[in-house]
Structure 1
Amino acid sequence: MIGDRTVMQEALFYSFRIEDHVPEDHLLRVIDRFVDLDGIREYLKPFYSSTGRPSIDPELMIRMLIIGYCMGIRSERRLCEEVHLNLAYRWFCRLDLDGSVPDHSTFSKNRHGPFRDCDLLRKLFEMTVERCMAEGLVGAEGFAVDASLIRADVHRQRSVPGAEGLPPDAAGRAVTEYLEVLDDAAFGGATPVTPKRLNITDPAARWTAASRERAFYSYSTNYLIDLDHAVIVDVEATTSIRQAEVLAQRRMIERTLERFGLWPEKLVADAAYGSAPNLGWLVEDQGIEPHIPVFDKSARKDDTFERSDFTFVHDDDSYICPGGNRLRPSNRNFKTPRPRANADGFIRYRASQKDCQSCHLKQRCTPNMTARKIMRSIHEGARDMARDIATTDAYLVSRRQRKKVEMLFAHLKRILKLDRLRLRGPNGAKDEFHLAAAAQNIRKLAKMKPSPELATA
Structure 2
Amino acid sequence: MRGHRERSGSLFSYVSIEERIPASHPLRRIRKLADQALDRLNPTFCELYASEGRPSVPPEQLLLASLLQAFYGIRSERLLLEQLHYNLLYRWFVGLSPDDPMWHPTTFTKNRERLLNDDVMGRFLEKLMAAPEVKPLLSDEHFSVDGTLLQAWASHASLERTDGQDDPPPPPSGPGEGFGQPKGEKKRAKGDFRGIKLSNKTHRSGTDPDALLARKSNAHPALPSYRGHVLMDNRHALIVDCKVTQATGTGERDAAKAMAADIPGAHQKTIGADKGYDTKGFVAEMRRIGVTPHVAQNTARSGGSAIDGRTTRHQGYAKSIHARRGIEKVFAWIKQWGGLRQFKLRGTDKVSAVFGLHVIAYNLIRLGNLLRPAAMEAA
Measured after TM superposition, the shift of residue 420 of structure 1 is: 1.2
Inter-CA distance 398–134: structure 2 relative to 1 (3 Å threshold):
closer
1:292 aligns with 2:214: no
Measured after TM superposition, the shift of residue 298 of structure 1 is: 6.9
1-side partners of 2:141 and 2:87: how far apart?
A: 42
Q: Is the 8 A contact 1:69 1:416 kept in 2?
A: yes
TM-score (norm 2): 0.82
Inter-CA distance 453–391: structure 2 relative to 1 (3 Å threshold):
closer
Q: In structure 1, what is the equivalent of residue 210 of structure 2?
A: 204
Measured after TM superposition, the shift of residue 157 of structure 1 is: 0.8
SS class of match (1:234): strand
Q: In structure 2, what is the equivalent of residue 435 of structure 1?
A: 357
Residue type at the aligned position of 2:294: H
Residue type at the aligned position of 1:404: G
Q: In structure 2, what is the equivalent of residue 45 of structure 1?
A: 46
Residue type at the aligned position of 2:248: I
Inter-CA distance 149–196: structure 2 relative to 1 (3 Å threshold):
farther
Give per-residue Cα distances to partners, 1:199-222, cap 9 Å, x unaligned.
110011111122443221111110
Q: How many residues align?
A: 343
1-side partners of 2:66 and 2:95: how far apart?
A: 14
Moved more, 68-77 or 387-396: 387-396
Q: Is the 8 A contact 2:200 2:213 kept in 1?
A: no
1:214 aligns with 2:221: yes
1:103 aligns with 2:25: no
Q: In structure 1, what is the equivalent of residue 277 of structure 2?
A: 273
Q: Is the 8 A contact 2:155 2:223 kept in 1?
A: no
SS class of match (2:39): coil
TM-score (norm 1): 0.69
Inter-CA distance 30–110: structure 2 relative to 1 (3 Å threshold):
same
Moved over 4 A (4+): 261-264, 294-299
1:244 aligns with 2:251: yes
Residue type at the aligned position of 1:252: M
RMSD between aligned residues: 2.7
Inter-CA distance 232–164: structure 2 relative to 1 (3 Å threshold):
farther
Give per-residue Cα distances to partners, 1:113-151, cap 9 Å, x unaligned.
3654x9212211222222377441111221100001111
Residue type at the aligned position of 2:57: I
SS class of match (2:157): coil
Give per-residue Cα distances to partners, 1:31-64, cap 9 Å, x unaligned.
1121212233332222322332222111111111
1-side partners of 2:138 and 2:114: how far apart?
A: 33
Inter-CA distance 138–431: structure 2 relative to 1 (3 Å threshold):
same
Q: Is the 8 A contact 1:242 1:272 kept in 2?
A: no
Inter-CA distance 296–162: structure 2 relative to 1 (3 Å threshold):
farther
Inter-CA distance 125–104: structure 2 relative to 1 (3 Å threshold):
farther
Residue among 329, 336, 339 paired with 1:417: 339
Q: In structure 1, what is the equivalent of residue 57 of structure 2?
A: 56
Measured after TM superposition, the shift of residue 198 of structure 1 is: 1.0
Residue type at the aligned position of 1:84: H
Q: In structure 2, what is the equivalent of residue 158 of structure 1?
A: 158
Larger radius of gyration: 1
Q: Is the 8 A contact 1:142 1:264 kept in 2?
A: no
Q: In structure 2, what is the equivalent of residue 120 of structure 1?
A: 120
Measured after TM superposition, the shift of residue 295 of structure 1 is: 5.9
Q: In structure 2, what is the equivalent of residue 450 of structure 1?
A: 372
- Structure with the bigger RCO (C-alpha within 8 Å, sep 6+) is 2
Q: In structure 2, what is the equivalent of residue 346 of structure 1?
A: none
Runs of at least 5 residues in structure 2 that lack an aligned partner in the other structure:
166-198
1-side partners of 2:243 and 2:160: how far apart?
A: 27
Inter-CA distance 205–448: structure 2 relative to 1 (3 Å threshold):
same
Q: In structure 2, what is the equivalent of residue 24 of structure 1?
A: 23
Inter-CA distance 386–74: structure 2 relative to 1 (3 Å threshold):
farther
Runs of at least 5 residues in structure 1 that lack an aligned partner in the other structure:
166-192, 300-306, 309-379
Q: In structure 2, what is the equivalent of residue 322 of structure 1?
A: none
